[in-house]
Amino acid sequence: MTSQVTAVKAVGVEKQKATKAAHPVERRIRNGVREPARGGKCWKIWNRLDKLQERTGQEPTVAQATKFRGVNENNARIEFYNWRRFHRSVKRNRTK
């Protein structure tokens, strides 16, 4: 019985690998940050941040990002900072 379950799992993994290889997802990389894949939780946060910026004309704040309904607060914070870094056009010079 165990070998049958293992065989089924192996076939499922192979199908998954084949599906991913057949449909590569193009994701942009900017300022060292990769854009999240469409449809995921991270992408939903980025999408909401984009819409909020379009609506207000200003960069959203962390507080606004953490108030999104149905989103983990810690994940929203992390994605906000990734989104902001991705969209910044100029890297800031750090002085020591």
Would the pLDDT of 17 be above 70? Answer: no
Q: Which of 45, 40, 35, 55 is nearest to 78 (CA)?
A: 45
Non-local CB neighbours of 11 within 8 Å, separated by 6+ positions: none
Q: What is the pTM of this model?
A: 0.67
Is 95 in a helix, a strand, or coil?
coil
Residues 31-57 have pLDDT tens digits of 999 999 999 999 999 999 999 999 999
Q: Is the pLDDT at 26 greater than 90, yes or no?
A: no
d(CA 25, CA 2): 35
DSSP state letters, 51-66: HHHHHHSS---HHHHH
